[in-house]
Structure 1
């Protein structure tokens, strides 16, 4: 376990009004960098062939919004206040969630055949390039996919190792582990639900629907929302927040006194805040995946349309489009060869169908629901301030 510094050296509190400021994100990056540097010594004896694996891991974990570590850290503060001497250990534990996140991104890019991630070539594309540059035999695409799958697996294992080596007291870690275990299962199961959704043919997406058939639209929205809840909302906001709160001792005293609560447990209140914000985060992602500026998002504009992603935005568009627009969506959604004009045509159909406006209203609804829950939660002032700012950062963004 990492030794704690003396009380006189307690670090100054981080600013809850800017919970994603440079002090916080730099600390997360430093924790990840230190951990990966340590893994260099582990990989070196295995052979120089693993050097690219280390480089790609460092590149892919070097950026990002850092939302998951932030919800974890400020979830702790919301329950227990400033961590003081525990801050380095807490930051390392929070940073381990970023390795889990990048693991999921690497696998997601393989499944979607994406070319870019965070403005850089996706992992499988980089392994393809390595194969070509070294003149190796066999199919570079197959090699690239294999390399990326293994890198994603390694990052998942490293996330577990980083958490266990963070230096948290064992009683704290024991409180949080069940939540992390649920998080890992949910995001993987949610990814499979997404794969199933993409595999269904276009005609079955809104079976037998006619104009104004609200029941079929609701069925499609419910199916898409289930994917969002488990693939994104829980592992982006709900579970990181609950994990941090559990480390801080959320509900421990009440559990010991009564075992059963007359009122909603704080764990559940934070979940009722986290899921709507997580959904709104994903709905914003869906809008950016179709209408976002590639220079800002780091992915090609309209990439979600080429990949044929069955999002809430698509469900709303299929429901609201006129017959010609729906035929165009059904025939072109998932077309890997869509050019800029093809993307623009689908964007026009989506906008004219009212889907873009409908999803914005869904974001506003979920945001409002979450903030109502947060206002009533019995948490610290610093935690409430930080979580309010994080909620806004998650849903009012352009990347």
Structure 2
């Protein structure tokens, strides 16, 4: 069982928690309870009957999340020596999960994705609900896209609200808010780079890695750790130690995602395995294949890459090219190397032992995952 799965199984009531071990499953449950209570209050105070169904959709969307960013935020707090009442860090961590919902909902709109976490993506679900409630079928897609943008915006606004209700003093806010601002700017930059490169078959590994760093590594791992550490009043040295661990791990996480986008099992990933090929995602995996492919293989890649008509037969042909060129094996090695870099960084960080142990577990889980 991975640390990301542990939230599904509460500890036996007769077990006494070890103070040298962070109970990340409890942290995950605390974040879930905070999100549930927050959305309950929003439903109860809704200005009209139209908003609760939108909140219910957001709730369902949140249900499938791994809570990686909130868990890392809690780890950052412990890494910086946080103690006392963790309510503030739980609110901030829950806010990061709402920000992630905003990013994913908008990402699915930009990528025209039909599914997310094994369910219809938000814009598809909203289009279906529109026609089910008497809306014109020829306006359903337009309505779904517009409503999903608004739902994402609402999640963004509420992520701010959760942070500001945490009751942080001025000093802590002055530490946290610049990091939050940086995180938001970086993920938008990463998303824009992703849009710029999507649909362009290229051998440019460096640009693909830059997308991975800004869209995923900094946003998914580094900044959540920074924000949690800042909530505990972290020194610049602690923040730098967080970065030394986080950046290679975050890149490994994205590289694993790239592999799952072509070789993964949709029953585990919750997304069709053809989506990355159909949308033309310019990944490190694909760039390596382009560098090494024969002329015939390049012709096949050009014919398939970014085509909405890609079928399973096409995908099988691409997988064979990725194997024959060694691109898949190279990405596996890049994941292993970056995981080792992250683990090595933990050998000399000035964190409590419990935080180090938790981060090692997360690193293994995040890079070996199948979903």
Q: Could you tell me the TM-score, scaled by structure 2's length?
A: 0.91
Structure 1 residues 298 and 51: CA distance shift in structure 2, 3 A: same
Deviation at 1:174, TM superposition (A): 2.7
Q: Secondary structure at the match of 1:48?
A: coil
1:71 aligns with 2:72: yes
1:151 aligns with 2:135: no
Structure 1 residues 347 and 17: CA distance shift in structure 2, 3 A: farther
Deviation at 1:19, TM superposition (A): 5.3
The equivalent residue for 1:255 is none
Structure 1 residues 37 and 187: CA distance shift in structure 2, 3 A: same
Structure 1 unaligned regions, length at least 5: 1-11, 207-219, 253-264
Within-5 A mapping of 1:326-337: 326-337=298-309
Deviation at 1:20, TM superposition (A): 4.1
Deviation at 1:267, TM superposition (A): 1.2
1:95 aligns with 2:94: yes
Deviation at 1:17, TM superposition (A): 5.2
The equivalent residue for 2:247 is 275
CA distance in 1, matches of 2:334, 2:269: 21
Contact 1:19–1:70 at 8 Å: present in 2 too?
no
The equivalent residue for 1:182 is 182
Deviation at 1:159, TM superposition (A): 0.5
The equivalent residue for 1:352 is 324
CA distance in 1, matches of 2:110, 2:319: 24
Contact 1:19–1:389 at 8 Å: present in 2 too?
no
Within-5 A mapping of 1:311-326: 311-326=283-298
Structure 1 residues 135 and 109: CA distance shift in structure 2, 3 A: same
Within-5 A mapping of 1:9-158: 20-21=24-25, 23-42=26-45, 44-45=46-47, 47-81=48-82, 83-84=83-84, 86-137=85-136, 138-158=138-158
The equivalent residue for 1:210 is none
CA distance in 2, matches of 1:292, 1:236: 20
CA RMSD of aligned residues (A): 1.8
Contact 1:290–1:305 at 8 Å: present in 2 too?
yes
Contact 1:102–1:152 at 8 Å: present in 2 too?
yes
Structure 2 unaligned regions, length at least 5: 1-15
Deviation at 1:242, TM superposition (A): 1.0
1:156-190 CA deviation, whole Å, 9 max, x = no partner? 11111111112344433332111111001110111
Contact 2:43–2:51 at 8 Å: present in 1 too?
no
CA distance in 1, matches of 2:195, 2:23: 34
Contact 2:274–2:311 at 8 Å: present in 1 too?
no
1:309-362 CA deviation, whole Å, 9 max, x = no partner? 001111111112222112111111111122222221211111211111000111
1:344-387 CA deviation, whole Å, 9 max, x = no partner? 12111112111110001111111111222221111111111111
Q: Could you tell me the TM-score, scaled by structure 1's length?
A: 0.85
CA distance in 1, matches of 2:111, 2:349: 39
Within-5 A mapping of 1:244-393: 244-251=228-235, 265-393=237-365
Deviation at 1:13, TM superposition (A): 6.1
The equivalent residue for 2:7 is none
Q: Secondary structure at the match of 1:61?
A: helix
Q: Secondary structure at the match of 1:101?
A: helix
1:397 aligns with 2:345: no
CA distance in 2, matches of 1:17, 1:330: 51
Larger Rg: 1
1:93-138 CA deviation, whole Å, 9 max, x = no partner? 1111000111100001011111111111000000110122122135
Contact 1:292–1:302 at 8 Å: present in 2 too?
no
Number of residue equivalences = 355
Q: Secondary structure at the match of 2:80?
A: helix
Contact 1:16–1:386 at 8 Å: present in 2 too?
no
CA distance in 2, matches of 1:116, 1:240: 26
Q: Secondary structure at the match of 1:153?
A: helix
Contact 2:20–2:353 at 8 Å: present in 1 too?
no
CA distance in 2, matches of 1:67, 1:226: 21
